[in-house]
Amino acid sequence: MSAPEKQPRITLRDIAAETGYSHTTVSRALRCDPRLKPDTIQKIQQAADQMGYQPNPMLASLMQAMRTRRDPDTLIANIGWLNTHPDRDHWHEHSYFAHYVEAARKRAREQGYGLEELWTAEPGMTAKRLQQIADSRGVQGFLVPGNVTPLAEMQFDWNPYAVVCLRERAPAQLNWNRSSIAQRENLLCAFRRLRELGYQRIAYASVIYLPAASQVTEMDAFNEGTLGQDSFLLMDAIREQLAGFSYTQLWVEPEHQIRPFLYCDRFDPSLHKLKTWLKQVRADAVITNDHAMLRACELTGLRVPTDLALAHVNLDDDVPDWAGIRPYPERLASAAVDLLCTHIQCNERGEPHFTKHIRIAGDWVDGWTAPPCSA
């Protein structure tokens, strides 16, 4: 039996001849170049699909290097890291956040890209200025960690770029692909592990950093059960952790169900509310995101782990040897780079037709704060 005849590869010039457009216009249309009219892009892309056109990703990368005037034997192009924090050094000063930047830089270089950090809070920064800087540095796509609200307010034109957001949610007007820590799944993992270790009354308590005064009133209402978690502003990570803990309460025994607790030490420096809650709920284990929980237990007279076990959902250098979940932010950043590079190499720019969301799950780590329960 003879092998099937190999069909000739459809080229840009074939599409140009079929549609009547120039080779350059066809190339731009297949890259969704915003300089072209949308109906022109649609017409050319439909013709390419009907003709069976398949892009050559290696050739696309080489052409991208030539367009950005970069040596194709070194870096193909650059990825932009958009720092929206008021403090320029925020993503470098704390070890947990520094993992994101360094992992993204390492993975980008492995993929043939450089990582360019751009600070949106720089004095005089505007949407036009940001685009000028990005284009001058050969930025083909952006990684967006942290708060994205300033970017929504800036009204930046995202159409020429691929974008991946490093968080659980993005504003409705910025319908981006995302890579995030699987906070809900991580909390479920911690809860199940504590049950396996023999703990029955497992609680969840989260600290809210730098809240507005109005949020304190809302937190009190939430703790009293008169306000739902969707009724006020919370960080994505805490909202997801609350969702995971709420799910656990559906299958534990009624006598072991405990309402989650939110607190902040900005308006309660003595941790009075937290200490009162610890006494009231009589938990034998607490899942938390706050290293100060250990101090609160000591001030309440509770001995860890003799009287109360603790599990941290974001283990880092500030909680050495604790039990809990190691979230692997470096894996999140690497996955975000991979997703972004895929869109760059496939010439998928601007708002995606459908969003992709990668959640990176962590692993349970045994520690001194939660040994096997003896009772």
Residue 254 structure tokens: 């009624």
Residue 18 structure tokens: 């079929």
36 and 107, same structural domain?
no
What's the pLDDT score for residue 72?
46
Q: Is residue 29 part of a domain?
A: yes
316 and 229, same structural domain?
yes
Residue 368 structure tokens: 């001194």
Q: Is residue 4 part of a domain?
A: no
338 and 318, same structural domain?
no
Q: Is residue 16 part of a domain?
A: yes
Residue 31: domain span: 12-54
Q: Is residue 124 part of a domain?
A: yes
Q: What is the pTM of this model?
A: 0.76
Helix residue spans in the chain (DSSP H): 12-19, 23-30, 38-51, 57-67, 90-93, 95-110, 127-136, 149-154, 183-196, 213-223, 236-248, 272-281, 293-300, 329-345
Query: Distance between CA atoms of 306 and 17, rounded to whole angstroms?
Result: 79
What's the pLDDT score for residue 1?
45
Q: Contact 189/360 with Cβ under 8 angstroms?
A: no
Three-state DSSP state, 109: helix
26: domain CATH number? 1.10.260
Q: Is residue 126 part of a domain?
A: yes
What's the pLDDT score for residue 337?
95
Query: Distance between CA atoms of 309 and 271, rounded to whole angstroms?
Result: 19
Domain count, the chain: 3
Enumerate residue ranges in the chain where pLDDT < 70: 1-7, 55-76, 171-173, 209-215, 225-234, 265-270, 375
275 and 207, same structural domain?
yes
302 and 242, same structural domain?
yes
- pLDDT, tens only, 333-363: 999 999 999 988 887 888 888 889 999 999 9
Q: Is residue 169 part of a domain?
A: yes
342 and 258, same structural domain?
no
